[in-house]
Amino acid sequence: MTEPSLKSGRVRLRRRHDRGAYDRASLYAVLDAMPLCHVGYVVDGQPYVTPTLQWREGDRIYWHGSAASRMLRATDGVQVCLTVSLLDGFVMARSGFHHSINYRSAMLLGKAEKVTDKDAKVRHMQRFVDGLFPGRWDMLRPATPKEMKATSILGMDIAEASVKVRAGPPGDDEEDYSLPIWAGVIPLALQTLPLAPDPRNLPGVAAPDHLTRFKIG
Amino acid sequence: MTEPSLKSGRVRLRRRHDRGAYDRASLYAVLDAMPLCHVGYVVDGQPYVTPTLQWREGDRIYWHGSAASRMLRATDGVQVCLTVSLLDGFVMARSGFHHSINYRSAMLLGKAEKVTDKDAKVRHMQRFVDGLFPGRWDMLRPATPKEMKATSILGMDIAEASVKVRAGPPGDDEEDYSLPIWAGVIPLALQTLPLAPDPRNLPGVAAPDHLTRFKIG
């Protein structure tokens, strides 16, 4: 059975079709590798792009923030664009024109909908926290109704999206390969550095596995 | 002499004013640390967010791409939002509510203008390449008129912008500090990994200093 494509005229790549994909496996690989996303929305004709964290539950994507934030207030019930990008390297070619970057990016279009059910909000927040840090939610001081009220969660169906990926060495013009110019890639990776404990941690409280084993990407 | 603020009603932080800034020094520190940006624009009422690379020349910001790309074609002469974000860490608190991220982000609003002068385009591309990799432009096979025609460069004045930064340990509710929960920060950093030479490099061609010494951030 062929899975329906996420392609539409709005997300179709206009060029470099070899770098594009419209299937859920390719899309979810990018979303699951990078919680940071950029949400685009329009207020009075002006586009805004706000960074926040996203998480996926099956075929829906969610993001959250303060109920007071411009982005959360402006995006409920409206069309948004959610983009996730990972910068994987600088591609150094033999001409300026063929310099590029290695990257993975995903662009999703859809109508954002606020989660209003109180219990559902708590479940989503647990999924978000435990998705990054398995088991953490139940170790924390429980959320209060006031805190949940101050938190907005938005979600949308993943139905219209494209993925674009570039990897590998530069693609130079054939005649340029004879030039004595160093070409190649400067690989980049977002890396986890050693944990920085809060100075106010109680004596003897150790970091749990979900932190000591945490890896991004 | 007090420098004019970049603040406006449109970029003013709606909350967490302690994390905001509207001066050029704070803004340029973020822009100069991260070439990856996300450009937001509107086509037929739909917002789009496209990742690309940005660079700064004095008080103007530029980005570029294929002349055939949707983003480059759609943004000439229109209002855009350009956002740059660095994810510096996960902030692990004693309650879900006070979990956060450490980050540096900049949001710029303005009208994008295409650079049309041929010589100016070449100068901008040199500034872009040499800004990241000093001296590289003159080592490369020179750009051809056809390549420059296929490249679009957009720029805008930096006049309306905000910066938002969070750093440091979690800020928990005072009574939660007595809980035996590990809190602190998982620091994250985009790091340069060892160079990956193109397998087609000529024998004996070494990587120049602008590559061996390259650091991002």
Please write the tens of the pLDDT for every residue from A60-83.
999 998 888 888 888 889 999 999
**Mutation to test the A interface, candidates B38, B48, B49, most A Cβ within 10 Å:** B49
User: Which tens digits make up the pLDDT trace of B111-130?
Assistant: 999 999 999 999 999 999 99
Predicted local confidence at residue A1, as pLDDT:
54
Residue A21 contacts residue A27 (beta carbons within 8 Å): yes
CB contact under 8 A, B182 and A208: yes
Predicted local confidence at residue B1, as pLDDT:
55
CB contact under 8 A, B48 and A40: yes
CA of A41 vs chain B CAs: smallest distance (Å): 6
A196 touches chain B (CB under 8 A): yes
Average confidence (pLDDT) over B172-196: 98
Facing A38 at nearest CB: one of B49, B93, B133: B49
CB contact under 8 A, B141 and A95: yes
Quote the pTM value.
0.95
Predicted local confidence at residue B14, as pLDDT:
81
The residue assigned the tokens 């001066």 is B23
Closest CA to A40 of A49, A28, A51: A49
CA of A94 vs chain B CAs: smallest distance (Å): 6
**What is the rounded average pLDDT for all residues in chain B?**
95
3-state class (DSSP) for residue A30: helix
User: Which tens digits make up the pLDDT trace of A109-146?
Assistant: 999 999 999 999 999 999 999 999 999 999 999 999 99
Predicted local confidence at residue A2, as pLDDT:
67
- Which residues are CB-neighbours of B77 under 8 A, at least 6 positions away? B111, B112, B113, B114
Kindly provide the ipTM of the predicted complex, given to two decimals.
0.95
Predicted local confidence at residue B66, as pLDDT:
83
Spatial distance between the Cα atoms of B105 and B31, rounded to a whole number of angstroms: 9
- Cβ neighbours of A198 in B, within 8 Å: 169-170, 183-185
Predicted local confidence at residue B108, as pLDDT:
98
- Cβ neighbours of B144 in A, within 8 Å: 97
User: Which tens digits make up the pLDDT trace of A77-93?
Assistant: 999 999 999 999 999 99
pLDDT value at B210 more than 60:
yes
Spatial distance between the Cα atoms of A71 and A82, rounded to a whole number of angstroms: 12
CB contact under 8 A, B205 and A181: yes
> What structural domains does chain B harbor?
17-168 (2.30.110.10)
Average confidence (pLDDT) over B62-90: 91
